[in-house]
Amino acid sequence: MYELELETIEAYANRLRELRSCLNVDAVKREITAIEKKMSAPGFWDDQESAQKEVQQLKACKAVVSAPDELRREMEDAETLIGMASEENDASLTAEITAHLENVKKKLDRLELNSLFMDPRDEKTAIISIHPGAGGTESCDWAEMLYRMITRYCEQSEFNVEVLDYQPGDEAGLKSASLRVTGPFAYGSLKSEDGVHRLVRISPFDANARRHTSFSAIEVLAEVDDTIEIEIRDEDLKLDVFRSSGAGGQKVNKTSSAVRLTHLPTGIVVACQIERSQHRNRETALGMLRAKLYDLELKRQESELSAVRENQQDVAWGSQIRSYVLHPYQMIKDHRTNVETGNVVKVLDGDLTLFVEAYLKWNLERKSKSNSK
């Protein structure tokens, strides 16, 4: 009795051992000891900036160690429950054991996903912009569908979403939207969506019910913190103010508080309309611009190293990272990882886990191959 549950626990334990090895937990524990020794030394807090960096590093190290240790304890608790149920022949504990193992699996899956976040930017806040491409009204509607898909995924991941800008389409959908997403590994979880998304369906805007192909682009950037210096000169900026519209517009559109900034040297345009204060909207827009300029510089450096990102293409045919086919059959396929699923409703409702995990593994493998050359 309960042999299957014990085999499940053993399988989870093997996965956890492999994960601890990948996370190098023993080395991290040694780093924790070293940092705590530094913190106990006289004069540690004399340099506040340096001390804060050490404190943040200590928190990050403890997070790496605590999750595997907690999982190991929960597996031991499950083994104890199974032992009690077997000795007492108590079938009422079966449901509790099943629920406990499901919880362990969920935490183990999440921990394995977190172990794939190798980029230092992965833990940062994400700035997301959505723009329709070729396809007119159809593309604007597709952009709205992607907006919903992203926000639903954020809700399911318990991320906080702040709408920075929302411009509705003339007939349907949206012209553009920008979001700020905060939460553990927000950027790392969403960067897989950066690129052009292609939709094939029977258009609801076509009176003849013909099949249409349309495109929309999602841009995902890591918010730049104060430790990274990005120079933006006032003379390089063009400022436009206008009345807000779209989401939240009824509360803030009585004055010209919305802000649009154009960075003249690069042509990058950002907008923010979420606040009633023009000054606060300008500060938020500047933060978005800094993130875009930082990403632009990283792309330039990668290009010089012959590692041009695959997503720097036009929002049109042949440039898509993922295709969503709703007619004549239903299939979503990621063209980078070749992962596909026929459950289009589930994905469009925000369940992106399949594609997020596949992308992280694919990206890690790609970088490993590139570094080995």
Do 15 and 104 share a domain, yes or no? yes
Q: Is the pLDDT of residue 311 over 60?
A: no
Do 292 and 360 share a domain, yes or no? no
In a domain, 338, yes or no: yes
Read off the pLDDT of each residue in 66-85 and give the average, rounded to a whole number: 88
Do 143 and 203 share a domain, yes or no? yes
Domain housing 71: 3-115
In a domain, 134, yes or no: yes
CATH of the domain at 351: 3.30.70.1660
Do 348 and 300 share a domain, yes or no? no
In a domain, 309, yes or no: no
Do 201 and 245 share a domain, yes or no? no
Do 108 and 65 share a domain, yes or no? yes
CA distances from 67 to 2, 8, 64, 76, 290 (A): 26, 19, 6, 14, 34
CATH of the domain at 252: 3.30.160.20
Do 100 and 26 share a domain, yes or no? yes
What's residue 252's pLDDT?
39
Q: Which domain-ending residue is among 264, 284, 304?
A: 304
Q: How confident is the model at residue 304 (pLDDT cuts 50, 70, 90)?
A: low
Q: Which domain-ending residue is among 84, 99, 115?
A: 115
What mean pLDDT value characterizes the chain?
Answer: 85
What is the side-by-side order of every strand in the sheet holding 211-222? 160-168, 174-182, 126-132, 211-222, 195-202, 320-325, 331-334, 340-341
Q: Which domain-ending residue is among 85, 115, 145?
A: 115
In a domain, 355, yes or no: yes
In a domain, 202, yes or no: yes
The set of residues, in sequence order, having a beta carbon less than 8 Å from that of 190 and lying 6+ positions away, is 126, 128, 150, 153, 154, 181, 220, 356
Q: How confident is the model at residue 344 (pLDDT cuts 50, 70, 90)?
A: very high
pLDDT tens digit string along 314-337? 565 557 999 999 999 999 999 999
Do 350 and 201 share a domain, yes or no? yes
pLDDT tens digit string along 263-303? 999 999 999 987 778 888 888 888 899 899 988 888 776 66
CATH of the domain at 46: 1.20.58.410
What's the domain count of the chain? 3
Do 20 and 104 share a domain, yes or no? yes
Q: Is the pLDDT of residue 181 over 50?
A: yes
Do 212 and 320 share a domain, yes or no? yes
Q: How confident is the model at residue 192 (pLDDT cuts 50, 70, 90)?
A: very high
The set of residues, in sequence order, having a beta carbon less than 8 Å from that of 170 and lying 6+ positions away, is 137, 140
Q: How confident is the model at residue 253 (pLDDT cuts 50, 70, 90)?
A: very low
